[in-house]
Amino acid sequence: MPVQETPPPPRPPASGGLFGGGKKQLEAENAELRAWVERMNGMDAMNIAAMTEQLRRQYEAMRSALDQATRRLSEVEQRTVRTEEVALLQEAGVYEYQHPLSDAVAYKDRLAQVKARIKEMTKENRAVLGSTNWTVNGSAVEGRRMVRDFSKLMLRAYNAEADNCVRTMRPYKLQSAIDRLEKAVEMIVKLGKTMSIHVSADYHRLRVHELQLTADYLAKQEEEKELVRAQRERQREEEAARREFEREKARLRKEEAHYRAALAKLIANGDAAAAEEVKAKLEEIGAAVTDVEAREANIRAGYVYVISNIGAFGEDVVKIGMTRRLEPADRVRELGDASVPFKFDTHALIFSDDAVGLEGRLHDALNDRRVNKVNTRREFFRVTPAEVKDLLGKIAGQHLLEYRDLPEALEWRQSVQA
């Protein structure tokens, strides 16, 4: 009985996957499978066994290729360090200093010492080490020269990675940078295995120390910049309050001079009744001047304000701050400048001889509701105006004269309807 020709096994689906080839491709594959099954019906056991063995060998070859690809992928993943900015930022928490120092200048000095030590170890050939008994064509001298040359090459590669990590450092990227440097050490060990070339442990620790100090320095530098910005803002606010006090005193004294001139004329004309009224007015002006001078002298006196901005921050966020201005509404208007799309709505203005203390008590009570939990100078809290009103009733007491629960937010509402 003649042996029938073994039909070729059906081809695997295209690389697009089971549903990736489209309707026409699936129909073509179905037709091929049907033809293959029809040919199978006319085959004898010997041909079927041969075809089965062929399929088994193909399967084993594919399985072996898949296992090899999986191993290679695993090796690549082990050598890969995640450096995506978005992923690192999402995992960034409150930065913890690795080596706490007093200020950025101290970090800069310490970094200079570390860099000097790095240069010293490099000059002393203690950065990258290698085999001391390597020979080339039986020559120990040539062997040492080859090890030295390869060691320099490996050191340049390692330092290039380390310098790049320092140059692109951000505090939240510290661990990623250390991981990259660790991978560089592993790669040098792998490439220099035959000559026992490797980065010395002391040199590697020194460069990791440099990365940690660099991250600390950048974090401290930003912290000090933020502190300077806050101090400048306070100085501007104090200067605005001082100018306002001076203008108010000048206005009152000018008004006082007018009334004194009028009083002298009334006394000269013998109009005693009108003179008494002017004297009463002069007493009021004198009391007002005394009050302004007292406000100016008491740096803790002022207004605590509670404001919100639905269009910029949402319905459950308020800002609680303090101003020494005679007209606190001026300060609120300044906060609603070009930095936010809509004006702030004022819920309360509370005057207190100790506005600094009142503001501090409110902030402490709402500390766990802060929007910015890192920079406490940002006075925004995730709380509704009604909740702040209840808290003010307990803390401010009789100082709370009027409170507006619902913000008008006219510009925002009109913009939503437009």
Task: For residues 311 and 276, state if they share a domain.
Answer: no
The whole-number average pLDDT for the span 12-30 is: 59
**The last residue of a domain, from among 179, 194, 223:** 223
Task: For residues 145 and 168, state if they share a domain.
Answer: yes
pLDDT of residue 404: 87
Q: Residue 238 domain-assigned?
A: no
pLDDT tens for residues 75-133?
665 655 555 666 665 566 677 888 888 899 999 999 999 999 999 999 999 999 998 88
Q: Left, alpha or beta for 125 (phi > 0: left; psi -120 to 50: alpha)?
A: left
The single residue listed with the structure tokens 């001078």 is: 293
In degrees to the nearest 10, what's the CA dihedral of 335, 296, 358, 394?
Answer: -100
Task: For residues 390 and 284, state if they share a domain.
Answer: no
pLDDT of residue 109: 95
Is 90 exceeded by the pLDDT of residue 7? Answer: no
The whole-number average pLDDT for the span 272-300 is: 89
Task: For residues 95 and 218, state if they share a domain.
Answer: yes
**The last residue of a domain, from among 158, 192, 223:** 223
Cα 358 to Cα 13, 226, 291, 326, 338: the distances in Å are: 74, 24, 20, 18, 29
Total residues found in the chain within this entry: 418
Amino acid (1-letter code) at residue 7: P
Task: For residues 253 and 314, state if they share a domain.
Answer: no
- Domains: count for the chain: 4
pLDDT band at 216 (very low <50, low <70, confident <90, very high): very high
pLDDT of residue 411: 84
Q: How far apart are CA 234 and CA 226, in angstroms?
A: 12
Helices 201-269 & 104-123 angle (0-180, nearest 10): 160
Task: For residues 201 and 174, state if they share a domain.
Answer: yes
pLDDT of residue 1: 43
Q: Which one of 15-19, 40-44, 119-123, 409-413 scores highest in mean pLDDT?
A: 119-123
Q: Residue 231 domain-assigned?
A: no
Q: Which residues contact 307 (CB under 8 A, 6 or more apart)?
A: 318, 319, 321, 332, 335, 344, 345, 346, 347
**The last residue of a domain, from among 223, 256, 272:** 223
Contact of 303 with 323, CB cutoff 8 Å: yes
- Which has the minimum average pLDDT: 16-20, 53-57, 87-91, 387-391? 16-20
Task: For residues 104 and 74, state if they share a domain.
Answer: no
Task: For residues 353 and 268, state if they share a domain.
Answer: no
Task: For residues 319 and 375, state if they share a domain.
Answer: yes
**Which helix (H) or strand (E) element contains residue 298?**
none
Task: For residues 309 and 391, state if they share a domain.
Answer: yes
Q: Residue 48 domain-assigned?
A: yes
Q: Residue 232 domain-assigned?
A: no
pLDDT tens for residues 305-351?
999 999 999 889 999 999 999 899 999 998 888 688 999 999 999 98
Q: Residue 129 domain-assigned?
A: yes
Q: Residue 171 domain-assigned?
A: yes
Task: For residues 283 and 325, state if they share a domain.
Answer: no
Task: For residues 203 and 101, state if they share a domain.
Answer: yes
Q: Which one of 36-45, 56-65, 206-215, 271-280 scores highest in mean pLDDT?
A: 206-215
Domain range spanning residue 204?
Answer: 91-223
Is 50 exceeded by the pLDDT of residue 18? Answer: no
Number of Cα atoms under 13 Å in the Cβ half of residue 324: 24
- What is the average pLDDT value for the chain, to the nearest integer? 84
Is 60 exceeded by the pLDDT of residue 12? Answer: no
DSSP string, 309-337: -HHHH-TT-EEEEEE--SSHHHHHHHHTS
Amino acid (1-letter code) at residue 52: T
Cα 97 to Cα 107, 173, 225, 227, 305: the distances in Å are: 11, 13, 17, 17, 35
